[in-house]
Amino acid sequence: MEDNHSYYWGIVMIGARIKHLRKGRNLSQTMLGKYIGVSQTTVTAWETNRTEPSSTYVTKLAELFEVSTDYLLDHERSIRQPVTVDLADENVNLTYRGRPLSRNDRNIIYQLMED
């Protein structure tokens, strides 16, 4: 049986998407909140569709989960397709769990790949 808080007329609501993506990354609500700068209570309110994140937080969530804002808002049905990039390209911004990698981290990755 579908949870009425997660679905409305067959459309997945943003709270269900946030919860699904968060659990897929093995993040607690508290950890997700810390990553994007909100409280655990706020994340709970989003996931239960009591409130919706502002456009600023929708953007932060999309970046963290590597999905489009359209996906979070249910304007598209699938997660973004993988993109192929050259990690040696200095113009590529490398991130891990939504946080940019430092120059030192990038150098370590380059060294590991060269060996």
Q: Are 58 and 69 in contact (CB under 8 A)?
A: yes
Q: Residue 34 is which amino acid?
A: K
Task: Measure CA of the first residue to CA of the last residue in the chain; give whole Å.
Answer: 52
Ranges assigned E (strand) in 11-63: 11-12
Q: Are 18 and 42 in contact (CB under 8 A)?
A: no
CATH placement of domain 7-72: 1.10.260.40
Q: Residue 99 is which amino acid?
A: R
- Residue pLDDT, tens place only, 20-51: 999 989 999 999 999 999 999 999 999 988 89
Comparison of pLDDT for 34 and 88, the residue scoring more: 34
**CA trace torsion 25, 28, 31, 36 (10° rounding):** 70
Taking the alpha carbons of 93, 98, 99, 104 in that order, is the dihedral positive or negative? negative
Query: What pTM was computed for the model?
Result: 0.58
Q: Where in the chain is the domain with CATH 1.10.260.40?
A: 7-72
Q: Confidence band (pLDDT; 50, 70, 90) for 10?
A: very low
